[in-house]
Amino acid sequence: MKDKRKILTIISLILFVILLFIMNRTFDSYEIRILNLCGIYVVLGLSLNLINGFTGLFSLGHAGFMAIGAYTSAIFTMSPELKQMNYYLKPIIPIFKNIQLPFLPSLLIAGLMAGLIGFLIAAPVLRLKDDYLAIATLGFSEIIRVVFTNTQSLTNGALGLKGLPKYTNVWWSWGMAIGTVIFMVLLIKGSYGRALMAIREDEIAAEAMGIDLFRHKIISFTIGSFLAGVGGALLAHLLGTIDPLMFRFLLTFNILLIVVLGGIGSITGTVISAVVVTVLMEFLRVLDGTMDLGFIRISGIPGMRMVVFSALLMFVILFYQRGIMGTKEFTWDWILNRKKKYTQIKG
């Protein structure tokens, strides 16, 4: 029975990769961009869900870690000529001037850097709880943004970095997404995941059971920051342009939205809602432009998209708090059992 499920998983993975291959061939560049965004948001959503959903630490600092990842990888992937072009007001710090690495090592360094900063921040901040933790992490991400705006010779300040090599393609974004999903499933099913969920349910009880609260919280926070950094780096090399204003609270909020819609504490839910939210955001763009319904022309109102979007979010929070999946996960048993039931009825 167990093997059957494993085989099913592998088969569906292969099918999914084939599907990606077909989509990569047939989609136009705009659609591929959305597909990439979906993959990146899966990574980002899962990383926030690990911290917020599975460990129950309400962190609002994701945009900061993404900024670290994005800038780190950008500094390593830009060619020396591009650096000279970008940093025209103040030259870049000499050590980074001639460095250029391929995408994979840059991505790893970006993740490690974000993870390291996350680790350093976690030690003092994780002593706080609930709202205080939320505000402190939000504070840290704002500090990171302010620092990046002011360190002209490292990040080019408010001008941002332009013309980054667009390395992110369907394989990178969805490769990372699939990797993250597999990692999360293994983590959550293992002893660490169970410890994290115990902390979420009841800290005092978890501590009484012998779980080292602080250590587990730090591990969760650091892994979450690492993945956020990788996601940020992928995003930077998809868009090709980054500046500190991109990494405002709004970005954290978008990711939080994905986690809430999917169900706080569900991997399946996050994956579904990352795709749904990203596609919906693009679909709602119609509202901003003029609509031609044949007999009537509705001139779009710029900004209407975001109003509808935030109203939708409020609706979900107020009336459908559990999100798409609640804390449930997809398992093959759903399909297998349904089939069994069906044959029973038939027989």
Partner 1 sequence: MGMSNFLQQLANGISLGSLYALLAIGYTMVYGILRLINFAHGDIFMVGTYIAFYSMTSFLLPWWLSFLIAMILTCIFGIIVEKAAYKPLRNSPRISVMISAIGASFLIENLAIVLFGGRPKAFPIPDMFNKVVKIGNVSIVSVNFYIPIITGILLLILLYVVNNTKTGMAMRAVSKDYEAARLMGIDVNKIVSFTFGIGSVLAAMGGIMWGLKFPNLVPLMGLMPGLKCFIAAVVGGIGDIRGAVLGGFILGLGEIMIVAFLPSLTGYRDAFAFILLIVILLLKPAGLMGKNLTEKV
Binding positions for partner 1, rule: CB under 8 A? 52, 58, 124-125, 127-128, 130-132, 134-136, 138-140, 142-143, 146-147, 149-150, 204, 249-250, 253, 256, 260, 264, 301-304, 306-307, 309-311, 313-314, 317-318, 321
Q: What is the CA radius of gyration of the chain?
A: 22
- Least CB distance to partner 1 at residue 285 (A): 14
E-strand stretches of the chain:
291-292, 297-298
What single DSSP character describes residue 326? T
Of 16 and 320, which CB lies nearer to partner 1 in the complex structure? 320
Calculate ∠ Cα 328-329-333, nearest 5°: 115
- Least CB distance to partner 1 at residue 337 (A): 31
Of 9 and 321, which CB lies nearer to partner 1 in the complex structure? 321
Which of 105, 71, 75, 84 lies closest to 236, judged by CA? 71
Please answer whether residues 125 and 112 qualify as being in contact, where contact means their C-beta atoms are separated by less than 8 angstroms: no
- Least CB distance to partner 1 at residue 256 (A): 7
- Least CB distance to partner 1 at residue 127 (A): 7
- Least CB distance to partner 1 at residue 323 (A): 10
What single DSSP character describes residue 294? S
Of 149 and 169, which CB lies nearer to partner 1 in the complex structure? 149
Of 24 and 327, which CB lies nearer to partner 1 in the complex structure? 327
- Least CB distance to partner 1 at residue 41 (A): 17
Q: Is 313 exposed, middle or buried (0-12, 13-18, 19+ CB in 10 A)?
A: middle
Of 101 and 218, which CB lies nearer to partner 1 in the complex structure? 218
What single DSSP character describes residue 53? I
Q: What is the DSSP string of 190-215?
A: SHHHHHHHHHHH-HHHHHHTT--HHH
- Structural tokens at position 14: 């292969």
Give CA separation, 133 vs 125, 138, 154, 228, in Å: 7, 8, 29, 18
What single DSSP character describes residue 242? B
Of 173 and 254, which CB lies nearer to partner 1 in the complex structure? 254
Which of 3, 5, 36, 56 lies closest to 330, judged by CA? 5
- Least CB distance to partner 1 at residue 150 (A): 4
- Least CB distance to partner 1 at residue 110 (A): 23
Of 46 and 170, which CB lies nearer to partner 1 in the complex structure? 46
Of 27 and 309, which CB lies nearer to partner 1 in the complex structure? 309
Position 339, amino acid: K
Of 22 and 301, which CB lies nearer to partner 1 in the complex structure? 301
- According to DSSP, the residues that pair with 297 across neighbouring strands are 292
- Least CB distance to partner 1 at residue 128 (A): 6
Tally of CA atoms within 13 A in the half-sphere of 257 that contains its CB: 23
Question: Mapping DSSP to helix (H, G, I), strand (E, B) and coil, where does residue 278 land?
Answer: helix
Residue 302 has φ and ψ, to the nearest 5°, of -60, 130
- Structural tokens at position 56: 């129950």
- Structural tokens at position 218: 């730090």
